[in-house]
């Protein structure tokens, strides 16, 4: 099983600032990496697939990068609606696995 590790667990950021979230895979997943975010009481929503392609309707302030084992999600200027928990997921092999999540909170 591929283990996905996200860091930090919690990120405190002021509105308008940049946020950088990390995701590491225990073995290479190539570019088979996706990002979701989840607001309290809501279902997860797809943000990024293929490590760097924004899903339909996702604002340009969200960008993904990386390949192999190291990945980054960057939010260039945090808006109020971006404070949420972010999860990465590998879709390279079964079983599909998620990272533990990074909570982005208001500083």
Q: Which of 55, 63, 72, 76 binds other proteins (CB under 8 A)?
A: 55
Asked if omega into 21 is within 30° of 0 (cis), the reply is no
> What is 27-57 written as a DSSP string?
S--TT-EEEEEE-TTS--EEEEETTTEEPTT
Q: Which stretch binds other proteins (CB under 8 A): 17-25, 62-70, 76-84, 98-106?
A: 98-106
Q: How many residues does the chain have?
A: 107
Please report whether residue 2 would count as binding other proteins according to CB under 8 A: no
Nearest to other proteins of 78, 99 (CB atom):
99
* Tokens representing residue 57 in the block: 């309707």
Q: Are 96 and 49 in contact (CB under 8 A)?
A: no
Please report whether residue 68 would count as binding other proteins according to CB under 8 A: no
Q: Which of 14, 40, 81, 95 binds other proteins (CB under 8 A)?
A: 95
Q: Which residues would be at the binding site for other proteins (CB under 8 A)? A: 1, 32, 34, 36, 38, 42-46, 49, 55, 87, 89, 91-92, 94-101
């Amino acid at each position: 099983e591929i283990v996905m590790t996200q860091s930090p667990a919690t990120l405190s950021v002021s509105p308008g600032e940049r946020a950088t979230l990390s995701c590491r895979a225990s073995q290479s997943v190539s570019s088979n990496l996706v990002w979701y975010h989840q607001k309290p009481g809501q279902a997860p929503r797809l943000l990024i697939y293929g490590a760097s392609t924004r899903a339909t309707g996702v604002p340009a302030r969200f960008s993904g990068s990386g390949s192999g084992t190291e990945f980054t999600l960057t939010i260039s200027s945090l808006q109020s609606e971006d404070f949420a928990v972010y999860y990465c997921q590998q879709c390279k092999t079964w079983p599909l696995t998620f990272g533990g999540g990074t909570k982005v909170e208001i500083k």
